[in-house]
């Protein structure tokens, strides 16, 4: 008993200081302790701060202490000061973190979108892969070959038209914009393709044709019968049935742009085939129809549109004759588009306002994070490059993300370093400040670059395509160096070729060459292909080139990987270094980034030795990272003697913090200036 008592005394000595409670423990009876008054008993359980403050001598807090005791301890310096220090430290750290975050956001250049990073790969669906053995490629065939894009590290696929169509112009004459032509599959096939593409991280860009429809479209059939709602959906005018030429306008395919319709008793305009009547886009109801069609496909989840033939969308309402290029030429001999200045049938006032309306619709669907909807416009403006640049829009009003740049299609006209630089600079020097360039070296309308420029230049052209600033576009088969096929008059499928076989676009549309088996792997079920397969398919195909590290395909894959992984190619400066009869040389560099890249490409007819000793920003010795001639990989050149063969391209990587662009501002371009902070690995505006 005494042990417990003493023990209790010890415990209370160490933990409480209430005198009344202590006396009771030291030997006083419970009654004595009680008789000391109810006030003291209350003090044993709840200390009154005002009465007990002077008596309280206990130093250490104890478990279960009342709030009042806790407040007394918490106000002591040993507890208060660390608490305040910790509080203000947290406040300062939070403010510093917010300030750093705001600074990084303010100084960071805009994020690149998916169409900045990846090349765009054009699929011509008739020729890509046939899944059902009818000899024509289809949507299921594209789905079968999606891994090909992943192998190339390509994430954006543009598919040429697959709408329901009479196929007078292979899909560019649309009978129903809301349906898939049975030749390519059905809507379920499309939806399954789209889902599978998105599952693999691929983007789908559709071809869209706003200028015209097929003459079998429901709108046209209602318009020709003067249905009150549709009578003005197309461009109609009175004309003489015996001589149906209200003016001298000429179709892209040749001859008059007007055809007399017996049902309506008027002529309708068609800037392409007579089976492709032009829509009257001055009618707001027609514009709304186009917007509804854009929304229809965006709702399905497509990632963008290539807007076809946009410069033809509006015509002058007065329908006056266009001026002749040769005023002395008899009017009856004006039969081609090259005979006229197209002052009244292309690039009319109001065109860009309409495209901005389309862009606004796409922006509405771009609000979902990661689902930006891309728009590219197609307009062949030839020497009138300023007209092409207008499709970029203005600093305040957005239009297309970029208009297609077709000037490199003219490279075969003069394979030289000077000519290559001229074509590149034609775009770069005219492009509005801050805009993003792009490059096209082949498509379904132009001969393949391997045939037009020559097989020996294919690798060099791919090298240039993938190392220039901006977005490259690759036509199917260019990644393996496919060439045009030869066709006879009886094999012609293209409407243009049926008028003149030399104008046929069939040669560049032959089936994709997948392997060395029957039909190049395009159709493995029957011996039927809509166009002949190129005889080279046994050696020029995807399967063979995948096994060869020095093939066109392997080099394409390497260059695309380099482009996407190295900051100077996506974010850096582009600078001309040299151009002469043979060589076109340029470099890519980024401020703050130690590594830079020099490209030396020989477009000439023979070997060349390039002297860059006058370029003081380059080191004296240069090591080749990659050559289109694999024997020269890792070769070291003195900068005064860089040797290349005809058709050879070099990618040279060198290390230096000395930049070229500050000393040569007139030779350099950048879309969005940025610097690299190597110590922490971040980009910032500079």
DSSP 8-state assignment for residue 537:
G
pLDDT tens digit sequence for 513-553: 999 999 999 999 999 999 999 999 999 999 999 999 999 99
DSSP 8-state assignment for residue 256:
B
Residue 177 CA to residue 278 CA, distance in Å, equals 15
Q: Which of 1-15, 149-163, 460-474, 660-674 has the lowest mean pLDDT?
A: 1-15
Does the structure show a pLDDT above 90 at 502? Answer: no
Helices (H), 600-682: none
Higher-pLDDT residue of 67 and 542 is: 542
In CATH, the number for domain 212-280+320-342 is 3.90.400.10
Return all residues near 378 (Cβ < 8 A) that are at least 6 apart: 306, 307, 308, 309, 310, 403, 404
Percent of the chain with pLDDT over 70: 91
Sheet containing strand 573-579, edge to edge, reads: 636-638, 621-627, 649-655, 595-602, 583-589, 573-579, 668-669
What pLDDT sits at residue 113? 95
Residue 608 CA to residue 642 CA, distance in Å, equals 8
Reading the block at residue 456, the tokens are: 């020996």
Q: Look up tokens 């060459």; give the residue.
A: 513
Three-class secondary structure assignment of 89-135: HHHHHHHHHHHHHHHHHHHCCCCCCHHHHCCEEEECHHHHCCCCCCC
Average pLDDT over residues 603-625: 96
> Which architecture, in CATH terms, is 119-211+284-319+343-559?
Alpha-Beta Barrel (3.20)
pLDDT tens digit sequence for 128-172: 999 999 999 999 999 999 999 999 999 999 999 999 999 999 999
Q: Is 378 a catalytic residue?
A: yes
DSSP 8-state assignment for residue 184:
T
Catalytic position from the list 378, 478, 494, 648: 378
What confidence category does residue 30 fall into, taking pLDDT thresholds of 50, 70 and 90? very low
Catalytic position from the list 43, 289, 308, 483: 308
Reading the block at residue 280, the tokens are: 């009257």
Residue 622 CA to residue 637 CA, distance in Å, equals 5
Reading the block at residue 115, the tokens are: 């169409």
What confidence category does residue 368 fall into, taking pLDDT thresholds of 50, 70 and 90? confident
Domains 212-280+320-342 and 570-684 share a fold: no
Domain spans of the chain, in order of start: 78-107, 119-211+284-319+343-559, 212-280+320-342, 570-684
What confidence category does residue 262 fall into, taking pLDDT thresholds of 50, 70 and 90? very high
One of 3.20.20.70, 3.40.50.300, 3.30.565.10, 2.60.40.1180 is the CATH number of 570-684, namely: 2.60.40.1180
Count of all residues that appear for the chain in the document: 686
């Amino acid at each position: 008993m005494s042990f417990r008592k003493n023990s209790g005394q010890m415990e209370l000595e160490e933990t409480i200081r209430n005198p009344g409670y202590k006396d009771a423990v030291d030997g006083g009876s419970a009654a004595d302790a009680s008789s000391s008054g109810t006030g003291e008993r209350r003090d044993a359980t709840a200390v009154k701060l005002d009465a007990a403050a002077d008596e309280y001598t206990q130093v250490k807090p104890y478990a279960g202490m009342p709030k009042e005791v806790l407040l007394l301890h918490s106000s002591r310096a040993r507890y208060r000061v660390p608490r305040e220090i910790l509080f203000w430290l947290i406040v300062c750290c939070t403010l510093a973190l917010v300030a750093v975050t705001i600074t990084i956001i303010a100084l960071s250049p805009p994020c690149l979108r998916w169409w900045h990073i990846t090349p765009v790969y054009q699929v011509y669906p008739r020729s890509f892969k046939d899944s059902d053995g009818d000899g024509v490629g289809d949507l299921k065939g594209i789905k079968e070959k999606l891994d090909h894009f992943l192998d190339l590290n390509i994430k954006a696929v543009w598919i040429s038209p697959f709408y329901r169509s009479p196929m007078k112009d292979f899909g560019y004459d649309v009978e129903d914009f809301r349906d898939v032509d049975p030749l390519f599959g059905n809507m379920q096939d499309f939806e399954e393709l789209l889902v599978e593409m998105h599952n693999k991280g691929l983007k789908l860009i559709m071809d869209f044709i706003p200028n015209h429809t097929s003459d079998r479209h429901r709108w046209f059939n209602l318009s020709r019968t003067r249905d009150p709602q549709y009578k003005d959906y197309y461009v109609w005018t009175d004309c003489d049935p015996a001589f149906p030429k209200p003016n001298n306008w000429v179709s892209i395919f040749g001859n008059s742009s007007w055809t007399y319709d017996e049902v309506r008793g008027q002529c309708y305009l068609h800037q392409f085939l007579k089976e492709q009547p032009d829509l009257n886009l001055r009618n707001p109801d027609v514009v709304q129809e186009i917007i509804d069609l854009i929304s229809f496909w965006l709702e399905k989840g497509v990632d963008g549109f290539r807007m076809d033939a946009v410069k033809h969308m509006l015509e002058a309402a007065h329908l006056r004759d266009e001026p002749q290029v040769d005023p002395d030429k008899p009017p009856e001999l004006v039969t081609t588009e090259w005979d006229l200045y197209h002052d009244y049938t292309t690039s009319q006032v109001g065109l860009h306002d309409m495209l901005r309306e389309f862009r606004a619709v796409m922006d509405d669907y771009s609000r979902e994070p990661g689902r930006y909807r891309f728009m590219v416009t197609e307009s062949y403006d030839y020497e009138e490059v300023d007209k092409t640049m207008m499709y970029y829009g203005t600093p305040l009003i957005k239009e297309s993300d970029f208009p297609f740049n077709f000037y490199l299609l003219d490279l075969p006209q003069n394979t030289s370093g000077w000519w290559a630089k001229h074509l590149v600079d034609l775009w770069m020097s005219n492009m509005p400040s801050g805009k993003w360039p792009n490059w096209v070296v082949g498509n379904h309308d132009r001969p393949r670059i391997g045939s037009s420029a020559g097989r020996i230049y294919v690798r060099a052209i791919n090298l240039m395509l993938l190392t220039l600033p901006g977005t490259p576009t690759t036509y199917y088969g260019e990644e393996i160096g496919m060439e045009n096929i030869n066709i006879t008059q009886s094999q012609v499928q293209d409407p243009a070729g049926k008028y003149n076989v030399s104008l046929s676009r069939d040669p560049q549309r032959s089936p994709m060459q997948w392997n060395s088996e029957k039909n190049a792997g395009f159709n493995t079920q029957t011996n039927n292909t809509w166009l002949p397969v190129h005889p080279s398919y046994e050696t020029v195909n995807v399967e063979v080139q995948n096994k060869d590290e020095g093939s066109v395909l392997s080099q394409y894959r390497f260059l695309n990987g380099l482009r996407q992984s190295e900051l100077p190619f996506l974010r850096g400066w582009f600078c001309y270094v040299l151009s002469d009869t043979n060589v076109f040389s340029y470099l890519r560099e980024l401020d703050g980034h130690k590594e830079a890249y020099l490209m030396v490409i020989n477009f000439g007819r023979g070997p060349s030795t390039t002297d860059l000793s006058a370029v003081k920003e380059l080191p004296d010795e240069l090591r080749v990272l990659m050559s289109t001639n694999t024997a020269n990989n890792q070769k070291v050149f003195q900068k005064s003697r860089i040797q290349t063969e005809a058709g050879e391209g070099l990618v040279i990587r060198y290390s230096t913090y000395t930049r070229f662009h500050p000393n040569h501002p007139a030779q350099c371009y950048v879309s969005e200036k940025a610097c690299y902070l190597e110590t922490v690995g971040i980009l910032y505006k500079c």
